[in-house]
Structure formats: structure tokens, C-alpha cells
């Protein structure tokens, strides 16, 4: 039984370590949060895509900060935009049906209290192979949002 519990603990530790080291791609600009959000919405629409949802992560964390016993302000502002591409999603999922775990695709925009004059936009990096099509799409959108 002890070996079984140690095995379970090792698997849990490995999964946590993998999540903690997950890579992302980001760009920083001196544009305002609102300007970057406006650019992001337009860039997504310009690709012919529909925004599925906007998660107001910064607002939620600030609203619940005291409830969870924290005094740390994580973001001045932070939103995550979720969307999908039927064409590209079909391509990557036909290559590997397990690519479903990456859909929908997300781009975050945030302002840190440490650097209130800078806005960061980014997305998580994807594995090599077919998912690089999605990473290219996200990169194109993120750059377009800030005029690059």
C-alpha cells in the first residue's frame, strides 16, 4: 500500500511540475489596456472568428480577494478572450483527436500593479506539430492587437 501511495504522490508531483513550467508567449506595450482590448477584439474579428467568451479574471480575483483571506492585488486589469476556428480546429483534431484539450483558444491581456504603464498580451505555447498552426494564428492575432 505504501508503494502505491508513493506512486500516486509521484504522479501528482510530476503533473503539478509540468503545469508550473508551461510556456507562454507574450508581448508588452505601452498602449492602454482598453486600447489593446479594442485591438484584440478587432484582430479576432478580422480573422473571421467569433469571440466565444471573455473571462474577467482580474475583476473576479479582486472581488474575491478578501473572501479568500488575501491582501495581494494581482492585476490592475486582466481579461482572457476565448475563441475558436472551425477550419483550423478540424485540421488539428483530424491530425490528433486529443488536440481537443487545447480548444477553445485563449489570449490574455493584463496590466500588473508593478508596471501599470505597460499592458501585456499573450497566449500559451502549444506543442510541436499540428498545434503550431494554432500558435501561429494566436501570434498573428496578438501582434495585430498591438499594431505589430
Domain that holds residue 61: 22-145
Domain count, the chain: 1
Asked if residue 13 is part of any domain, the answer here is no
Cα–Cα distance measured from residue 76 to residue 33, given in angstroms and rounded to the nearest whole number: 9
The answer to whether residue 7 is domain-embedded is no
Q: Which domain CATH number covers 94?
A: 3.30.310.70
How many other CB atoms are found less than 10 A from the CB of residue 13? 10
Could you tell me if residue 83 is inside a domain? yes
Q: Return the DSSP state at 56.
A: -
pTM: 0.82
Question: What string of DSSP letters covers 95-114?
Answer: H-GGGGGGPSEEEEEEE-TT
Q: Which three cell numbers stand for residue 148?
A: 505589430
Q: Averaged over 24-42, what is the pLDDT?
A: 97
Residues in the chain, how many?
148
| Residue 3 counted as domain residue | no
Q: Give me the percent of the chain exceeding a pLDDT of 90.
A: 84
45 in any annotated domain:
yes
Amino acid at each position: 500500500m505504501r508503494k502505491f501511495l508513493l506512486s500516486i504522490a509521484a504522479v501528482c508531483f510530476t503533473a503539478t511540475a509540468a503545469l508550473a513550467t508551461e510556456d507562454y508567449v507574450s508581448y508588452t506595450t505601452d498602449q492602454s489596456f482598453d486600447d489593446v482590448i479594442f485591438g484584440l477584439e478587432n484582430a479576432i474579428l478580422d480573422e473571421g472568428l467569433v469571440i466565444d467568451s471573455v473571462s474577467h479574471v482580474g475583476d473576479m480575483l479582486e472581488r474575491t480577494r478578501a473572501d479568500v483571506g488575501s491582501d495581494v492585488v494581482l492585476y490592475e486589469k486582466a481579461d482572457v478572450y476565448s475563441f475558436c476556428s472551425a477550419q483550423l480546429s478540424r485540421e488539428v483534431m483530424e491530425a490528433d483527436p486529443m488536440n481537443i484539450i487545447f480548444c477553445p483558444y485563449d489570449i490574455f491581456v493584463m496590466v500588473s500593479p508593478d508596471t501599470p504603464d505597460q499592458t501585456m498580451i499573450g497566449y500559451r505555447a502549444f506543442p510541436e506539430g499540428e498545434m503550431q498552426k494554432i500558435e501561429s494564428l494566436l501570434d498573428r492575432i496578438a501582434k495585430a492587437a498591438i499594431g505589430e
